[in-house]
Structure 1
């Protein structure tokens, strides 16, 4: 096996080419455009297939330097926090609790689905949990974290391979299905964006004209971003002393919310970047590059290391996620435009990861209009609350199965 290790600069260059590829595909392939598939998803999936072919046929593996990817994730969620005004947060209070209840309930549904299919296929029932909330709602990080427990305590030697393969499967399909489902709901129910809502998409829309991005506005935005990220990291340090662990990007999101609802009131002459194209552009670029790096670095050959039984189990999980999102999430969240956008994001959460959810919602809102509420409550549920709940749910199922 020949291995090529790329440095940060080379990784960024390839990620940019992947985004160009995605934009080209979206422009040329009508399906991708009509069903709001994010550029980073279409380009990233194709790139991961290419690198997978290099691995399986030519025995040539490309390894990327992904430290910069984590920094891009922090930048992106900081832009979300800086775009979150208090009145929007107050509007999101009740929907946040509702979505959290729905998401926690689905952790049980996801594991029960996995256990049922695993039993039918003659697999260890705990494999259904691995290919349930561990790897799908939890993602790659949770799958890796729990793999040793499944291996050492329950004798599932290939728990890591199953977990990573399941998380990879979910991440890809979570980015592909969110847009089409949202489009179906919007068109079928003739939904319109609320005209009284702020015109905030956290994105520069395609074809948008008269955008003012100059030296001064970009410099102000970068200054605020740097200060906010620093505050967020310090906030996370102090929270850690209290015994509560937060992902860095969640702390930076919260720091952005705090600053954007206080500093403009105190220093009224300082040009705060909320609602500016500069902030939206940085948000777009950071999310696009993050998702492109995440998808192009997926080791798709791990999917070949699992049996047909696991594939059937994952297909069942995929279908259950769609059914639950359409029949439960959308109606309970209000059957309105916000609910449709939230549903597209939730599909990304339940199958992949929070950035996938954000990419789904960005693609939808670029086409149909803003949904500020969705951009606040979905990342808070997906990036913080659901991980805490998932740990308890996983342990509960393992105790029951024991």
Structure 2
């Protein structure tokens, strides 16, 4: 027996399981502790139910996920609109160092994923899915690029990416705190008030946090987002036709959004209002992640479970060593540097909320670190993709 759902019903089901995931996150401590996204929880529950029904030949559920691409495109555009280069200036030298470290991490994560995939006789494109795509990119990157790679004929790419992203998310939550504690105890570090309150206030101004949200400003943000999406999709197709280099529409839309954001800021920095853009981004991310998890084929991951686990373990070991012995020293070898290393492990293996959770657990025990909470969210949430996206796209084209 087959049950098919149309576009509207699929979106409704995605929202329903998104809300179920959100409810379970509040009720189950381990989900909240490791910052597992609500759409991942809800979508995975649906996927398990659908897989079980199919496995026992009871029911085959078919979803119409054709609108998933639209939600994904919108989300990445909102990320681009958050990348104001004025933020780099506000973050100073430490932000640039941290940002460069994240770019280097994306490169090495792909090298690790591709190298081990070849060693284990796995398609190199699956190695990329267990590289920066799912480690630094998290579930959002795994969904976006998994869809792209599946379009190239690698059927299990999305499932592999989402599985790796989930494993990375948990690992990032597990290793972040112990790394910081080790550094604090070894070097006898203590928090110092660094006086970055003025910079934090300036960031609120850059992000438009003081601008009131109303229908007029909201419509303006929607207009800017759709403008970037439209122009980006055309430029992406044109770039691919001219160069033969595959550039997904959501990537070109994101980079168009970065350019548009900074051009608008140079004219009037009050036009972009990040409260509305963040809401739109959160909603579209939740829906497209939920839809992606709902439609994954869990049985495709079973045969790749051990190789994937091995690659993820190597990724975890590398980021621990990089953060502990290199990044910590590059950031100043002080308390703030140690806290930032914890954040680095969080979003380098999972997502920005994971980084915040790692740092929050540390500062609640050892004391505040304004620099860390200033720099890590800016790079993790907005700026990191400026480096990561070209690295990922280049890797995919080289091994496709």
SS of the residue 2:64 aligns to: coil
Match of residue 157 from structure 1: none
Q: Decide whether the 8 Å contact of 1:38 with 1:175 is kept in 2.
A: no
Q: 1:384 to 1:59 in 2, by over 3 A?
A: farther
In 1, the alpha carbon distance for the partners of 2:227 and 2:155 equals 40
Q: Which of 102, 105, 108 does residue 108 from structure 2 map onto?
A: 105
Q: How does 1:3-402 map to 2 (within 5 A)?
A: 3-89=2-88, 95-116=98-119, 118=120, 126-127=121-122, 129=124, 131-133=126-128, 140-141=146-147, 144=150, 160=154, 166-182=160-176, 185=179, 195=197, 196-197=199-200, 213-240=213-240, 242-243=242-243, 244-267=245-268, 272-275=271-274, 277-304=275-302, 306=303, 310-328=304-322, 332-333=326-327, 334=331, 335=337, 337-348=339-350, 360-362=351-353, 364-365=355-356, 368=360, 369=373, 371-392=377-398, 394=399
Q: For 1:203-243, what per-residue CA distance to the aligned partner results, in whole angstroms no more than 9, with x for missing partners?
A: 9xxxx9x9954323322222222222223234334434541
Match of residue 137 from structure 2: none
SS of the residue 2:61 aligns to: strand
Q: For 1:296-318, what per-residue CA distance to the aligned partner results, in whole angstroms no more than 9, with x for missing partners?
A: 211112234x2xxx432222112
In 2, the alpha carbon distance for the partners of 1:229 and 1:164 equals 23
Q: For 1:265-309, what per-residue CA distance to the aligned partner results, in whole angstroms no more than 9, with x for missing partners?
A: 3357xx51333x2222111111111111111211112234x2xxx
Q: Decide whether the 8 Å contact of 1:232 with 1:252 is kept in 2.
A: yes
Q: 1:14 to 1:141 in 2, by over 3 A?
A: closer
Question: What's the CA shift for 1:12?
Answer: 0.9
SS of the residue 2:284 aligns to: helix
Q: 1:337 to 1:323 in 2, by over 3 A?
A: same
Match of residue 123 from structure 1: none
Match of residue 142 from structure 2: none
Q: For 1:180-223, what per-residue CA distance to the aligned partner results, in whole angstroms no more than 9, with x for missing partners?
A: 444555666679996534657x99xxxx9x99543233222222
Q: Decide whether the 8 Å contact of 2:79 with 2:381 is kept in 1.
A: yes
In 2, the alpha carbon distance for the partners of 1:131 and 1:89 equals 33
Question: What's the CA shift for 1:28?
Answer: 0.6
Question: What's the CA shift for 1:83?
Answer: 1.8
Q: 1:259 to 1:127 in 2, by over 3 A?
A: closer
What is the Cα-based RMSD across aligned positions, in Å? 3.6
Q: 1:33 to 1:331 in 2, by over 3 A?
A: farther
In structure 2, the gaps of 5 or more residues are: 134-144, 185-190, 332-336, 361-372
In 2, the alpha carbon distance for the partners of 1:61 and 1:136 equals 32
Q: 1:176 to 1:102 in 2, by over 3 A?
A: closer
In structure 1, the gaps of 5 or more residues are: 119-125, 148-159, 349-359, 396-402
Question: What's the CA shift for 1:101?
Answer: 3.2
TM-score normalized by structure 1?
Answer: 0.73
Q: Which runs of 4+ in 1 moved over 6 A?
A: 190-194
In 2, the alpha carbon distance for the partners of 1:61 and 1:331 equals 51
Q: 1:61 to 1:176 in 2, by over 3 A?
A: farther
Match of residue 352 from structure 1: none
| Greater alpha carbon shift after TM alignment, 89-98 vs 227-236 | 89-98
Question: What's the CA shift for 1:44?
Answer: 2.1
In 1, the alpha carbon distance for the partners of 2:219 and 2:149 equals 40
SS of the residue 1:127 aligns to: coil
